[in-house]
Amino acid sequence: MISLTLISDRVRDKLSDLALWNIKRTKKLLKKNDINSKFLNNNNLLQICSYNDDVEMFCFLLNRGCDFKHINDNGDTCLHIIVLPPTGIYCLDILAEII
């Protein structure tokens, strides 16, 4: 299991909360932390959801203003992550509607 840290308030949480579609937990964390907080490899929450193909969380984060243009340490945006296997096409459809 990968651990991550929200830098602003030293809140610790597990990546599995995002992978398990735990929007309630994410909303609670976002009350005290920036939606564009950076994690392992400079990924933001939208990039993590893109990798996990978590459509519900992806929509939630986009609607809340998460930066879909953010570039991580590998030079990838959430769009790059969406089109790489094993992720699916569902998040791409949603991103296309927003852009």
- What are 34-60's pLDDT values in tens digits? 888 888 889 888 888 888 777 888 888
Is-contact 44 36, C-beta < 8 A? yes
Residue-by-residue pLDDT tens, the chain, 99 positions: 344 444 443 444 554 455 456 787 778 778 878 888 888 889 888 888 888 777 888 888 899 999 999 999 999 998 888 887 766 566 777 777 776
Pairing status of strand 11-14 against strand 3-6:
antiparallel
Ordered by where they begin, the domains of the chain are: 3-98 (1.25.40.20)
